[in-house]
A and B are shown apart, each in its own frame.
Chain A
Amino acid sequence: MSQSAEILLLCPILVPFLTGVLALFFWNNRRLQRLISVLGMAATLAAALFLMRTVSSTGIQVLQVGNWPAPFGITIVADLLSAVMVSLAAMMGLAVTVYSLAGMDAQRESFGYYPILNVLVMGICGSFLTGDIFNLYVWFEVMLIASFCLIALGGERAQLEGAIKYITLNLISSAIFLAAVGILYRVVGTLNMADIAVRIQSAPGGPATTLSIMFLVAFGIKAAVFPMFFWLPASYHTPPAVVSAIFAGLLTKVGIYALIRMFTLIYPEGAVHVLIMVIAGFTLVCGGLGAIVQEELRRILSFNIISHIGFMIMGLGLMDAGHAIGKLALTGTVLYLIHDIIVKTNLFLVSGVIQRLQGSGRLSSLGGLYHARPLLALLFMIPALSLAGVPPLSGFWPKLMLVRAGLEAGRYLIVAAALVASILTLYSVVIIWEQVFWKDKPESRVFDRSPISDPLPRSAWLAYLLPVAALALCTLAIGFWVEPFSVLSERAADQLLDPRGYIDAILPNLTEPGPAGLKGAP
C-alpha cells in the first residue's frame, strides 16, 4: 500500500489533532482559532472524501501504526463503512464549525471551544478507523471527554445537571467496555479486532457469549438504546445548539458503529441478534412516545434521536435472517446512518437558528416563522420530513429497506414497531411545524424577555444558513439521487457480511487460524 494512502488513513485523526493543538497555541486569538478550525475541518473533510474514494476503488485500506505487524501493533483500517462514517463526521465537523462562527458565543470561544471541538472530531474519526479494540476504547474516551467538556462548557445550571447524568452513565458504559476488553484479552489473547474474530471461534460459549452481552450493554449505553438512553434526553438540549448538533449527529452513531463492527465482525451469529431486535423495537417505540410529549424543540428532537437509533440497530438485528435479507437490512442500516447523521445535525442547527431568532426553544413561546422566515421554514421542512421518512427524501429509502427486510424475514413485530415509530415521528414533526412555523407568535407575556430584537447581521445569517442549506441539499440529493448512496451502502454491507475480506486485509499472513500465521516481523 502506498505511503500516500497510509498518510490519508491517519489524516482524519491527525489533522483535527493538529488543528486542536494549533488552536490551543493561539488560545487568546479567537479569530485565528476560528480560521484554523475551519481550514482544519475542511482539510479533514477533503482527506476523508479522498480516503473514501480510495477505499471505494482499491478496497480496504490498512495501516500498521509504528510499522508493527498486525496483531502486535495498532491497526488503522478503513473499510467502506469506516470511510463513510469518517467522511460524514468530517462533514458534520465542518458544518458545525462554520455554524459556530455565528452560533457560538465569544466567551465559550475563548475558553477552548475550538480545540475541544477538534478533539471531538478526532476521537470520533479515531473510533471509526481503528482496528484495535483497546484503541477503540481510547478513542471513545477522547470523544467522551471532549463531549463532557463541550456539554458543560459555560457552566449553566441546566448544562451541569445534564452533564452529571451524561457523564455518569457514559462512565459506567466505559467501565463495562473496559472490563470486557480485559476479559476478552484473557480469553482470546489479542486485541486486534480481526485477530479476535479469528480466535474467538476457537473459544466459543462461556465467557465469549457473556462478553458479547457486555459489549452490547456498553455500546448500547453509548448508542442510547432502550432502556439505557436516559443520559441523552437529559443533556442534549442543554448546551448551545451547535454543540447539540454535532452530538446529535455523531455521538450515538459511534456507539452504533461499534455495535455494527462488533456484531458483524466478532459476533456475526448468535442469540444476541434476537436481543438486539427486541431492544430495537422498544427503542423505536419508547423514543417515539417520548418525542410527542415534549414541548421544547431540542427535547423533541432528542427523543427522536433515540427512536431512530432503533431503526439502525434493527438492521443489525435482522442480519442473521439469511444472507439476502441480512444484506438488505445492513444496507438499510448503513444508509440510515448516512441519512440520520446529516438530518439530525441539520435539525439541531436549525433549532439553534430558531432559538436565536425568537429567544426560546419552547414551543409555546415560538411561532410565526412561516410568514417571517420562509427560507428557514423550507430548510427546516426538508430535514424534518426526511426525519419522518416522507418519500422520496433521504429517510425514506433506508426505512424502506429495513421494513422490507423485516417483512421478508417474517419479523412482523419489529416492522410494526418501525411503522409506529414512523407515525410518531411524523406526529412530533407536525407538532413542531405547527407550533413554530404555522402558529402565530404568541404575545409575549409581561415577565417574558422579549425575543432578541437585534436583527442578525448578514454575515451571521450566512454562517447560520450556509451549513444548514448545504446539509439540506445533501438530504435532497440522497433522496432523489439515492442510487449511488444505496450502492455504496450495499457494498459496505457486503464487506460487513463477509468479514473475511476485512480480516485478510489486516492479517495477510494468516493462512489458517492458529499460531501458524503469527510469526510476523517488522
Chain B
Amino acid sequence: MHSVILYTATRYMLPLLVLVSFFLLLRGHNEPGGGFVGGLVAATSFTLYALAHNVAKARRALRIDPRTLIAVGLATAFVSGLPALLRGEPFMTGQWTAFELPVLGKLGTPLLFDAGVYQLVIGISMMIIFALAEED
C-alpha cells in the first residue's frame, strides 16, 4: 500500500544515505566504516527506496545493474592487487601515493580494494533484495 509520507521522506533520505555511505567508505581506513558498512548503508537506502516506491524505480535509481556492479566490484578489488606486481612485490602489497588528500589521507591500493568491496556489497544486496521483492 502506498504511503505519501514514506514516499516523500524516502525521496529526501536516499541521497543523504548514499552520501553517508560514501563517507563511511572513504574514511573507513582511519575511523569506523569501510567498504562493507558503506556498501550496506547504500544498500539499505536503495532497499528503503524499493519498499517505499517499487523495485523498478529503485532499479532506476541505482542506474547500474546490480550484476554489473558485482562484476565491477570484484574486478576493482582484483585490480587493486596488481600494481604491486609491477614493482616486483607480492600480490596485494599496498602501494601509496606520496601526497595526502583531506579526509582520505594518502591514496593507495587498499582504498581501491575497499572501493571494490563497496561496489560489490551494494551489488549483491540489491541483486538479492530486488529479486526477492520482484517475486511478489
Contact = CB atoms under 8 A, between A and B. Distances in A.
Interface string B67-108: 110110011001000001100111111100000000000000
Interface string A43-79: 0000000000000000000011111000000000000
Contact of B92 (A3, A25, A65): A65
A64 B90 contact: yes
Given A3-B85, A7-B85, A24-B67, A14 B91 contact: yes
Contacts of A14: 78, 91
A27 interface: yes
Contact of A21 (B74, B90, B92, B94): B74
B78 A17 contact: yes
Interface string A353-366: 00000000000000
Contacts of A27: 67
A3 B85 CA distance: 8
B67 A6 contact: no
Contact of B70 (A3, A24, A64, A67): A24
Contacts of A17: 74, 78
Interface string B49-76: 0000000000000000001101100110
Given A14-B78, A18-B78, A6 B71 contact: no
Contacts of A64: 90
Contact of A24 (B71, B89, B90): B71
A10 interface: yes
A25 B85 CA distance: 24
Interface string A1-27: 001001100100010011011001101
A65 B93 CA distance: 7
B108 to A, nearest CB: 12
Nearest to B85: A7
Nearest to A20: B74
Nearest to A27: B67
Query: Which of A21, A27, A63, A64 has the most C-beta atoms of chain B within 10 angstroms of its own C-beta?
Result: A21
Contacts of B70: 24
Nearest to B88: A3
A192 to B, nearest CB: 15
A21 B78 contact: yes
Query: Which of B85, B88, B91, B92 has the most C-beta atoms of chain A within 10 angstroms of its own C-beta?
Result: B91
A67 B89 contact: yes
Nearest to A2: B88
B90 A6 contact: yes
Contacts of A66: 84, 90-94
Nearest to A74: B92
A20 B67 CA distance: 13
A489 B126 CA distance: 48
Given A7-B85, A17-B78, A65 B91 contact: yes
Contact of A67 (B71, B75, B93): B93
Contacts of A10: 91
Query: Which of A17, A25, A66 has the most C-beta atoms of chain B within 10 angstroms of its own C-beta?
Result: A66
B71 to A, nearest CB: 4
A20 B71 CA distance: 9
Nearest to A21: B74
A66 B81 CA distance: 8
A6 B89 CA distance: 9
Contacts of B84: 66-67
A52 to B, nearest CB: 20
Query: Which of A3, A7, A63 has the most C-beta atoms of chain B within 10 angstroms of its own C-beta?
Result: A3
A63 B90 contact: yes
A411 B70 CA distance: 54
Nearest to B68: A25
A63 B81 CA distance: 14
B45 to A, nearest CB: 24
A6 B91 contact: yes
Contacts of A67: 84, 89-90, 93
Contact of A65 (B67, B78, B90): B90
A24 B120 CA distance: 13
B56 to A, nearest CB: 20
A14 B85 CA distance: 13
13 contacts: A3-B85, A14-B78, A17-B74, A21-B74, A21-B75, A24-B71, A24-B74, A25-B68, A25-B71, A25-B75, A63-B90, A65-B91, A67-B93
Interface of A: 3, 6-7, 10, 14, 17-18, 20-21, 24-25, 27, 63-67
Given A24-B71, A65-B91, 6 more contacts: A3-B85, A7-B91, A17-B78, A21-B71, A67-B84, A67-B90
Considering the complex of A and B, which 3 residue pairs feature the smallest CB-CB distances, nearest first?
A: A67-B93, A24-B71, A66-B92
